[in-house]
Copies of this chain bind each other. A is one copy, B any other.
Amino acid sequence: MIRAAIVGATGIVGQQFLVALKGHPWIEVKALAASERSAGKSYRQAITDQSSGAFRWFCDEPPVEEVMDMPVVNASELSTDGIDVVFSAIDSGPAKLLEPKFAAEVPVVSTASAFRYEDDVPILIPGVNPDHARLLEIQRRRRGWKGFVTPDPNCTTIGLAITLKPLLDSFGLNSVIMTSMQAMSGAGRSPGVIGLDILDNVIPFIPGEEEKVQHETQKILGTIEGDGIRPAPFTVSCTCTRVCVLEGHTESVFASTQKPCDVDSIVKAMREHDGGLAGAGLPSAPKNLILVNEDPFRPQPRLDRNNDGGMATTVGRVRKDEAMDNGIKYVLVSHNTKMGAARGAILTAEMLINDGYISG
């Protein structure tokens, strides 16, 4: 069994790591770390508010009893002895300081954006760009680390990159225009999205989000060249909005392809896209990376976010677009805190275990 530490274990993403690793066949949770405030407590105490008695468990799934009595250590004092991989579920600021410390010793799979834009750091999506894992060796060598940092993509990027991949492979891409309708959980809880701001409303701006999506999509779909990645040569332009939805990002995509394409061939390419996942036997992999639903009223975030355990990206409304050359348009739903966060990071770890980058 691979022995994992969860850093940021008391937050919402940390809890989702715990849920997703409960009963995992390859990985077991060996250490929990959080902020100084939680250090020295049992996990149960750490998520129980002392004054009110409130129990701060944020997942739909029941609390993971197996970890309730485990001690929580201060993240800045976590030892990596006896740990094979660190799952980092902390904000970008502390990630910048802590992740290199852990990576000096062991692999770190992170949901934070802190290292996503560095040249020797891949943004891996199993089934999309497994070859980018080669950068991890360059990273190790260049930085003199025994481990490495491999961050997952932003939760809005991941569904877009997954659905563009078969289009890029089959038809080539000139440009992509996307409008997102993002769920509240993407903003976390500190304080996240205030109810007074979002009820009966849409907020048309999420600071930094559009730049992340544009940059990451080109990097993920780029090609390894020498010691780095050449970004994919198509343009990505987007407007990211917040809507009154709990979980599940919806994206309205318009794309211009290089070769002519029709709806049927697009749907076929999406449905058949596998990217090497099918044979690999990764425990968290969805049966289909992309599900295409032909009901014109789908995908809907409430109905489709949990498809295949929240790991499938669901596509619908595939149509021709007349505004761009070889234009097509579609709508996708992707679970932002499952495939787009903890479970996605675990899937990445599984691929890296399979490929020998992480070992016990």
Contacts and interface: CB of A to CB of B under 8 A. Distances in A.
Contacts of A252: 179, 204, 239, 241, 252
Interface residues of A, number: 62
Interface string A318-334: 00011110010101000
Contacts of A241: 181, 250, 252, 331
A239 B177 CA distance: 12
B192 A196 contact: yes
Contacts of A239: 252, 254, 317, 329, 331
A52 interface: yes
A246 B196 CA distance: 6
Given A194-B194, A196-B184, A244-B199, A204 B323 contact: no
Contacts of A317: 204-205, 239
Nearest to A329: B239
A196 B189 contact: yes
Contacts of A53: 294-296
A308 to B, nearest CB: 10
Given A237-B327, A295-B53, A244 B246 contact: no
Contacts of A302: 199-201
Interface of A: 52-55, 58, 60, 175-177, 179, 181, 184-185, 189, 191-205, 207, 235-237, 239, 241, 243-246, 250, 252, 254, 256, 294-303, 316-317, 321-324, 327, 329, 331
